[in-house]
Amino acid sequence: MSPPPPPPLGRARRRAHHTFDPALDDTELVSARAALAQGRWTAARALLATTGDDWDRRAHRVTVLAQAPAAVPWARDWQVAEPDSPAAALLLALARVHRALAGKERPERAREACRALAAAEPEDPTPWFGLLLLERTLGTEEDVVRLFDEVRLRHRDHHHAHHLMVARLAERRAEAGQDPLHEVYDFANWAAEQAPADSPLAILPVVAHAERYRVLAAAGQEPADPVASGHWVGRRARQVMKAAFDWWLEWEHDDHPRRLVDLNFLAHAKFCEGRGAEAAALFHRIGEHATPAPWSYPDRDPYRAFHAARESALGAG
């Protein structure tokens, strides 16, 4: 059978579209999200009820559910049926946050929903996390710092909140270039040192390194190819990467809801550092659960970047 003819002149070939699943390997979350898409919000209710006050998992799960296309109307239906449900209010608030970030809803409406829930559920860091997620993009630095403090007051090792804070701090003073004393490195090191020995925040200095590269490359101060940049091969960078990899070997927990985010950052760092065998071990653990960040940095196709790096590392390993 002959191959199909090429597209007519003037029409670009359609690029394959690859999606990344923010649910990662949480199969219960995947099932609840599928049910929610069909209007069966009771699955989301049951999922969040069993999650309880596992705050990292609660933030992860409600954030993914909130990104479902019909999350707002189904959360409203849930609220009509159970007007006193904090979980229904949380899902609606986070869904409004994501719509506001996509330019589909007024940010103030999302802020009001999160603030109301924060007042009603003072011990839950998740409404404050919702505000932090919003203001990391739309707010002032003062807003971001204040909201991070509110989250940390309720859950000092909040994983996603620390990642948001690092991403925002990395954007300070792009003109400073490769400053080893930049505040994003200080913050990440401080957070890692403050956390318990088995906390995945031990990987935060690696995240800080990647986020700073994103900023510097976007400003034209680093090459667009992270491997060619040399950003991961300096003495200090190597110390950071070695400490994080050693932590992973000793302390990795298979049950943290966002561990695959950390593994993607660490695999990316090890690949850019030229440590193919170590990167290969991480790619084996990641499997197909790639995350857009940091493979998209600074402006790359994350799917192609991830798979090219994985094939190279596994071939070398």
C-beta of residue 45 within 8 angstroms of C-beta of residue 88: yes
Is the domain of 284 the same as that of 217? yes
Is the domain of 193 the same as that of 58? no
- 2 pLDDT band, cuts 50/70/90, is very low
Is the domain of 270 the same as that of 189? yes
User: In what helix (H) or strand (E) does residue 139 lie, and over which residues does it extend?
Assistant: none
Is 1 a member of any domain?
no
What's residue 316's pLDDT?
A: 59
Is 17 a member of any domain?
no
For residue 143, pLDDT over 80 is answered with yes
Is the domain of 307 the same as that of 177? yes
Query: What digits encode the pLDDT tens for the residues 47-62?
Result: 999 999 999 999 999 9
Is 236 a member of any domain?
yes
Range of the domain at 226: 173-317
What's residue 187's pLDDT?
A: 97
Query: What digits encode the pLDDT tens for the residues 67-122?
Result: 999 999 999 999 999 999 999 999 999 999 999 999 999 999 999 999 999 999 99
Is the domain of 141 the same as that of 280? no
Q: For residues 180 and 229, which has the higher predicted lDDT (pLDDT)?
A: 229
Q: And the tokens for 156?
A: 């000092």
Is the domain of 177 the same as that of 315? yes
Is the domain of 196 the same as that of 307? yes
Compute the C-alpha angle 275/279/282, nearest 5°: 155
Query: What digits encode the pLDDT tens for the residues 230-255?
Result: 899 989 899 999 999 999 999 877 88
For residue 6, pLDDT over 50 is answered with no
Is the domain of 111 the same as that of 192? no
Query: What digits encode the pLDDT tens for the residues 272-301?
Result: 999 999 999 999 999 999 999 999 999 999
Number of structural domains the chain divides into: 2
CA 172 to CA 154: how far, in whole Å?
26
Is 52 a member of any domain?
yes
Is 118 a member of any domain?
yes
What's residue 4's pLDDT?
A: 44
Average pLDDT, integer, range 158-172: 97
Closest-CA residue to 49 (of 86, 96, 78):
86
CA 179 to CA 234: how far, in whole Å?
12
Is the domain of 253 the same as that of 282? yes
Q: What is the CATH classification number for the domain harbouring 65?
A: 1.25.40
Mean pLDDT value across the chain: 93
Is 150 a member of any domain?
yes
> Could you tell me what percent of the chain has a pLDDT over 90?
87
- 129 pLDDT band, cuts 50/70/90, is very high
Is the domain of 109 the same as that of 50? yes
Is the domain of 32 the same as that of 100? yes
Is 180 a member of any domain?
yes
Backbone angles phi, psi at 6, to 5 degrees: -65, 160
Is the domain of 297 the same as that of 248? yes
Average pLDDT, integer, range 170-175: 89
Query: What digits encode the pLDDT tens for the residues 187-220?
Result: 999 999 999 999 999 999 999 999 999 999 999 9
Is 4 a member of any domain?
no
